[in-house]
């Protein structure tokens, strides 16, 4: 664990705030801890009374990282109105596929001027929306201040205060910078960015390629094959981002290739774990039945493949198509690897 000293509120550029955190999974717990360590008052909104009791009585989340003692600045509640009372910021850590209904149910309680910092990464399977479209749609508001936190950041390593860098994206750099100050600390660098589309697409697609990287490992193909897959995945990620108006340099940074590398090579990656188990012969249903947390790539891959097909660009994105068809049961792991590895070779794409 890092021995870096914790910052004092007097050292920060932002006065103490009240922050509501939606979600009490591993990343929600990590986000609450980072903000709580900075001296802000944090209220975690949970659906489970046992989680609320554990956090409030023992300063521990019994659902995840149950041995980790949370800062005393963190409390929890099952009452959305209580969590949002006089709130200054909201940190949204709900999985993408659950976010629409979650937000719709409490939209009347969310003050329209309070910034929402979204950490969810993926694409809605029905509408193909990413969070920058889904949140305004769910809230029926186009004016809510929104930012998006992304980058290579495993929850456990944030709890352990390992040096980490992430990106805070918003349409305005002023909001991105202000929101970033909630999280900045001696162990966490937060870089402001105004390329929301690039940050969102990088965060969504990297989960798909992490599943592919896991398949490669599960089949015992080695690091040469994984490096090939990750490099080709980066290429597909860039092409789809640019097609949607993102800046290519965004995908070369922390929220693009940085997050891709961590998720594809890091053993704590949920998406990589799903792929590894698929590569060893388990069915997707067996994996989902025994998984404690959501691997967003499982839903994002078919959604991204649908998007690619709608654009009539299947030949340009063979790995997105291959991984999607594996998850849909249309091909086995061996055939998926063959399709992911044998791709048209064009100059300057290696």
My answer on whether 78 and 109 are in the same domain is: yes
Which structural domain, as residue segments, surrounds residue 57? 15-194
pLDDT recorded at residue 334 = 81
My answer on whether 202 and 293 are in the same domain is: yes
CATH of the domain at 203: 1.10.1040.10
| In the predicted structure, residue 4 carries a pLDDT above the cut 60 | no
CB atoms within 10 A of CB 121: 28
| In the predicted structure, residue 74 carries a pLDDT above the cut 50 | yes
Domain assignment present for residue 10? The answer is no
My answer on whether 110 and 124 are in the same domain is: yes
pLDDT tier, 6 (very low <50, low <70, confident <90, very high otherwise): very low
Domain assignment present for residue 3? The answer is no
pLDDT, mean of residues 254-271:
95
Active site residue 206: yes
Domain assignment present for residue 350? The answer is no
pLDDT recorded at residue 11 = 52
CATH of the domain at 114: 3.40.50.720
Q: What percent of the chain has pLDDT over 90?
A: 84
pLDDT, tens only, 173-191:
999 999 999 999 999 999 9
Q: Are 183 and 35 in contact (CB under 8 A)?
A: yes
pLDDT, tens only, 326-349:
999 988 888 777 767 654 445 455
My answer on whether 153 and 294 are in the same domain is: no
The domain boundary residue, chosen from 154, 170, 194: 194
My answer on whether 38 and 166 are in the same domain is: yes
My answer on whether 203 and 110 are in the same domain is: no
Domain assignment present for residue 79? The answer is yes
pLDDT, mean of residues 257-266:
96
Domain assignment present for residue 5? The answer is no
Count: domains in the chain: 2
My answer on whether 238 and 117 are in the same domain is: no
pLDDT, tens only, 75-120:
999 999 999 999 999 999 999 999 999 999 999 999 999 999 999 9
Per annotation, catalytic residue among 206, 238, 239, 330: 206
pLDDT, mean of residues 293-303:
93
Q: How far apart are CA 274 and CA 212, in angstroms?
A: 9
pLDDT recorded at residue 292 = 83
Q: What percent of the chain has pLDDT over 70?
A: 93
The domain boundary residue, chosen from 162, 194, 226: 194
pLDDT tier, 8 (very low <50, low <70, confident <90, very high otherwise): very low
pLDDT, tens only, 213-255:
999 999 998 899 899 999 999 999 999 999 999 999 999 999 9
Would you say the C-alpha torsion 228, 323, 235, 237 has a positive or negative sign?
negative
pLDDT recorded at residue 342 = 56
Edge-to-edge strand list for the sheet holding 188-193: 74-77, 41-45, 18-22, 89-92, 116-118, 146-150, 164-169, 188-193
Domain assignment present for residue 60? The answer is yes
pLDDT, mean of residues 8-34:
85
- Mean pLDDT score of the chain: 91
My answer on whether 150 and 238 are in the same domain is: no
Domain assignment present for residue 161? The answer is yes
C-alpha distance from residue 228 to each of 160, 189, 307 (Å):
32, 30, 24
Backbone region of residue 147 per phi and psi (left: phi > 0; alpha: psi in -120 to 50; beta: other values): beta
Would you report the helix, strand and coil content of the chain in percent, each value rounded to 5?
50, 10, 40
My answer on whether 28 and 144 are in the same domain is: yes
Q: 118: which 2 tokens?
A: 């979204």
pLDDT recorded at residue 13 = 63
pLDDT recorded at residue 202 = 95
My answer on whether 32 and 159 are in the same domain is: yes
Phi/psi for 191 (5° steps) reads -100, 125
Q: How far apart are CA 164 and CA 157, in angstroms?
A: 8
My answer on whether 64 and 108 are in the same domain is: yes
My answer on whether 214 and 190 are in the same domain is: no
The domain boundary residue, chosen from 157, 173, 194: 194
């Amino acid at each position: 664990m890092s021995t870096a000293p914790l910052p004092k509120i007097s050292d920060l550029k932002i006065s103490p705030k009240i922050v509501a955190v939606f979600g009490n999974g591993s990343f929600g717990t990590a986000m609450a801890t980072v903000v709580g360590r900075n001296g802000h008052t944090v209220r975690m909104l949970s659906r489970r009374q046992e989680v609320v009791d554990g956090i409030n009585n023992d300063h521990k989340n019994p659902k995840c990282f149950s041995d980790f003692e949370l800062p005393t600045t963190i409390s929890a509640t099952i009452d959305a109105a209580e969590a949002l009372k006089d709130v200054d910021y909201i940190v949204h850590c709900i999985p993408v596929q659950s976010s629409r209904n979650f937000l719709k149910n409490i939209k009347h309680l969310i003050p329209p001027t309070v910034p929402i910092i979204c950490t969810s990464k993926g694409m809605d399977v029905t509408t193909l929306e990413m969070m920058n479209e889904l949140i305004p749609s769910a809230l029926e508001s186009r004016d809510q201040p929104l930012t998006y936190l992304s980058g290579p950041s495993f929850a456990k390593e944030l709890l352990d205060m390992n040096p980490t860098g992430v990106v805070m994206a918003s349409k305005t750099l002023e909001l991105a910078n202000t929101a970033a100050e909630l999280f900045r600390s001696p162990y966490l660098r937060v870089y402001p960015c105004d390329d929301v589309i690039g940050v969102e697409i990088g965060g969504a697609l990297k989960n798909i390629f992490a599943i592919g990287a896991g398949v490669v490992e599960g089949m015992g193909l080695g690091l040469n094959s994984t490096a090939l897959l990750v490099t080709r995945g980066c290429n597909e990620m860039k092409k789809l981002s640019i097609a949607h108006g993102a800046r290519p340099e965004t995908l070369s940074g922390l929220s693009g290739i940085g997050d891709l590398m961590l998720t594809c090579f890091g053993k704590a990656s949920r998406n990589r774990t799903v792929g590894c188990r698929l590569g060893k012969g388990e069915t997707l249903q067996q994996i989902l039945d025994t998984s404690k947390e959501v691997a967003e790539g499982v839903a994002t891959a078919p959604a991204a493949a649908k998007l690619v097909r709608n654009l009539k660009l299947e030949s340009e994105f063979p790995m997105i198509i291959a991984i999607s068809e594996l998850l849909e049961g249309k091909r086995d792991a061996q055939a998926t690897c063959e399709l992911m590895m044998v791709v048209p070779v064009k100059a300057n794409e290696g």
